Amino acid sequence: MNKNKRMSDLPEDERPYEKCFKYGPSVLSDAELLAVIIRTGAKGEQSIELARKILHLSKLCNGILGIYHSSIEELMNIKGIGKVKAVQLKCVAELAKRFRQASVKDKLSFREPRIIAEYYMEELRHEEQEKLMLLMLDTKSQLIRERVLSIGTVNASLISPRETFVEALKNGAVYIILLHNHPSGDPTPSREDIRLTNRMRQCGELLGISLLDHIVIGDNNYTSFLEEAMLCDREGDE
């Protein structure tokens, strides 16, 4: 019979389970780590071979980051990956992101644009659409809550300051920070970015909730309105 090839088909010193048990997970390659998670391959191939296919799936970036940017449907297009395995892989990718964020969260200063940008960089730099986030802070500039305001092109005329500040007031925020990505990788603020920032800043002043910054995330770089002294009206903006 033509059965799935399993870990036991490999020589003992090449089996990811045994290697991990003997030497620890750090010695495993990305493909071996994935092979442990998916457990079995498709008919006629071992799980390690299937893992390599997963790592080369994404057109945006090869390797483990590709899992984060591949949809469940795209993963299921690989022979041997059904709905359960696809969901498991997406959950592993999400856990990896949350592990990274949790490891630095207690040290995070929401008064330092560079640290904020680094914290959200991996979450936003590979997004294919613009995602605008609202960060709500307390009197000590500690994060109370974050919320996605919009997904798609950031347009000041489509984003409601009323909804934004109702959310901020509901959560007892004293300060807010806007954060969004540019899929092009260039974090230079657009005219709409500037228009939106000024609109939110002016509304915040009326309500007693200060806009501390607007940070635009690029590909391993960022622009901070605070650092660039851009938290003020610009000629030609409303």
What tens digit of pLDDT does each residue of 112-122 get?
A: 999 899 888 87
Query: Residue 145 belongs to what H/E stretch?
Result: strand 143-151
Q: Closest by alpha carbon to 86, among 67, 59, 60?
A: 67
What the block records as the tokens of 207 is 């309500």
What is residue 221's DSSP assignment? -
Model confidence at 104, pLDDT cuts 50, 70, 90, reads low
In 152-221, DSSP assigns E strands to: 175-181, 210-217
Q: Does the pLDDT at position 172 exceed 90?
A: yes
User: 108-224 architecture in CATH?
Assistant: 3-Layer(aba) Sandwich (3.40)
For the chain, the structural domain boundaries read: 7-102, 108-224
Residue 2: the pLDDT is 44
Model confidence at 236, pLDDT cuts 50, 70, 90, reads very low
Residue 237: the pLDDT is 46
Instruction: Name the pTM for this structure.
Output: 0.65
Q: Does the pLDDT at position 206 exceed 90?
A: yes
